[in-house]
């Protein structure tokens, strides 16, 4: 624990120097927008199958296949019971790193149970138009009745650990409780079991799945292509959307510290922007952009963007490009403002193009191609 405390203090000091380059308007003429599929109802998550097909989740509780640029009209069967409503429903989706060998597909959704609703994660295998061998790997505890701040993004790291982002469920104090999953990052083995080296495994009053905490509502996660670090972003309140690098046992401060303020009144939340033992964001947005979806660009279609971080904005309906120097954000550029709609998901495809899910009652999947 002494080593962990020293690491956290170093990160806290470094985080105090977080800067915000002035956003620049991007040159939309660098690329063209190609529509891949339409008629998607509030699309949320996207995964690329090795054979070129794509899986898209719709928040009301449907999993769809896109093949050869065509949306299959028949949703997949075999999903668990999903408690769709408010911000919840069928959410993210990802493939096992060894999908070609084992066929496991992982997805997050909102499930009902004692006390209300909460984020859950399951895996299954695809067989034609149905999912088979369904296994529920994780359930948020405790469930509650609110309809917001479910998270929830999924990511596998280089060692094969599964990360799950969870929102505070609209109940701020829960994000600081270690006996409560809300407002935390979860780390599991691929079968749902708890890694023995998770930071709170030996803590009597902590849930062992928790890897970090003090998060408000993270809806973006990505693996740094060089360092292998897990990066997330999360919604702030009015202002204070954060970009963070995840460290084991880290307390990211919500709601004790934040760069945001209360909606409407613009009054202070918590104790300010800094507190000893709580990590500073690598970067933050004020005013909020309402970030959702995030991807490091690793393709070869846009060589000038390789290694850049792309973030979707719901509020301003734009795509944000962050240029990095090491772990420092040195430039921010914004594209597509109010041209497509609310960008919910950003992903680098196997073909090297950048894909965007547009969240709307009649949403779409588009990709960016060089002009």
Residue 8, pLDDT above cutoff 70: no
Q: What average pLDDT is seen over the chain?
A: 94
Distance of CA 165 to the CA centre of its chain: 6
CA distance 55 to 4: 39
- What are the Cα distances from residue 22, in Å, to 234, 235, 289, 322, 332? 20, 20, 14, 11, 7
Question: Following DSSP, what letter does each residue of 222-277 receive, concatenated?
Answer: EE-TTT--EEEEE--SBS-EEEEE--TT-B--TTTB-S-B-TTT--B-TTBS--TT
Place 23 in a pLDDT band, splitting at 50, 70 and 90.
confident
Q: Which of 27-31, 35-39, 209-213 has the lowest mean pLDDT?
A: 27-31
Q: What is the pLDDT of residues 87-103, one digit of tens each?
A: 999 999 999 999 999 99
Place 20 in a pLDDT band, splitting at 50, 70 and 90.
low
Residue 312, pLDDT above cutoff 70: yes
How much is the pTM? 0.94
Residue 4, pLDDT above cutoff 80: no
CA distance 180 to 139: 11
Q: Which residue has the higher pLDDT, 24 or 180?
A: 180
Residue 232, pLDDT above cutoff 90: yes
Q: What is the pLDDT of residues 138-153, one digit of tens each?
A: 999 999 999 999 999 9
Mean pLDDT within 29-49: 96
Domain residue limits, the chain: 2-370
For the annotated catalytic residues, the residue numbers are 149
Residue 363, pLDDT above cutoff 60: yes
CA distance 25 to 11: 31
Residue 14, pLDDT above cutoff 50: no
Cβ-contact 281, 259 below 8 angstroms: yes
Residue 9, pLDDT above cutoff 80: no
Residue 25, pLDDT above cutoff 90: no
Place 27 in a pLDDT band, splitting at 50, 70 and 90.
confident
Residue where the block lists tokens 């020293």: 6
Sign of the Cα pseudo-torsion (244, 183, 289, 120, in order) = positive
Mean pLDDT within 298-324: 97
Residue 7, pLDDT above cutoff 90: no
Q: How many CA atoms lie within 13 A of 15 on its CB side?
A: 29
CATH code, residues 2-370: 2.120.10.30
Residue 307, pLDDT above cutoff 90: yes
Percent of the chain with pLDDT over 90: 91
Looking at residue 28, its pLDDT comes to: 86
Mean pLDDT within 213-219: 98
Place 2 in a pLDDT band, splitting at 50, 70 and 90.
very low
Place 21 in a pLDDT band, splitting at 50, 70 and 90.
low
Sign of the Cα pseudo-torsion (157, 201, 283, 234, in order) = positive
């Amino acid at each position: 624990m002494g080593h962990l405390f020293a690491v956290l203090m170093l990160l806290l000091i470094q985080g105090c120097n977080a800067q915000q380059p002035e956003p620049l308007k991007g040159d939309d003429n660098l690329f063209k927008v190609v529509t891949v599929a339409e008629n998607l109802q509030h699309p949320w998550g996207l995964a690329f199958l090795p054979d070129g097909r794509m899986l898209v989740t719709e928040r009301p509780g449907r999993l769809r296949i896109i093949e050869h640029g065509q949306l299959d009209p028949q949703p997949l069967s075999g999903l668990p019971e999903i408690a769709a409503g408010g911000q919840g429903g069928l959410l993210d989706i990802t493939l096992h790193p060894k999908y070609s060998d084992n066929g496991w597909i992982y997805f997050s959704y909102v499930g009902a149970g004692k006390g209300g609703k909460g984020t859950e994660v399951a895996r299954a295998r695809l067989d034609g138009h149905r999912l088979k061998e369904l296994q529920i790997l994780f359930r948020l505890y405790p469930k509650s009745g609110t309809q917001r701040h479910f998270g929830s993004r999924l990511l596998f790291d280089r060692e094969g650990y599964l990360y799950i982002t969870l929102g505070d469920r609209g109940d701020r104090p829960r994000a600081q409780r270690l006996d409560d999953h809300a407002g935390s990052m979860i780390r599991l083995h691929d079968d749902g079991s708890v890694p023995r080296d998770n930071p709170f495994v030996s803590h009597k009053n902590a849930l062992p799945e928790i890897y970090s905490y003090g998060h408000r509502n993270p809806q973006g996660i990505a693996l740094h292509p060089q360092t292998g670090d897990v990066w997330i972003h999360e919604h702030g309140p009015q202002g204070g959307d954060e970009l963070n690098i995840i460290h084991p046992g880290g307390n990211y401060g919500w709601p004790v510290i934040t760069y945001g303020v209360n909606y409407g009144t613009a009054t202070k939340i918590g104790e300010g922007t800094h507190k000893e033992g709580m990590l500073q964001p690598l970067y933050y947005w004020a005013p909020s952009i309402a970030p959702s979806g995030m991807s490091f660009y690793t393709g070869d279609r846009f060589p000038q963007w390789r290694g850049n971080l792309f973030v979707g904005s719901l509020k301003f309906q734009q795509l944000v490009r962050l240029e990095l120097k090491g772990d420092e954000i040195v430039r921010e550029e914004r594209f597509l403002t109010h041209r497509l709609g609310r960008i919910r998901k950003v992903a680098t495809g196997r073909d090297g193009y950048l894909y965007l899910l547009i969240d709307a009652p009649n949403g779409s999947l588009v990709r960016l191609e060089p002009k």
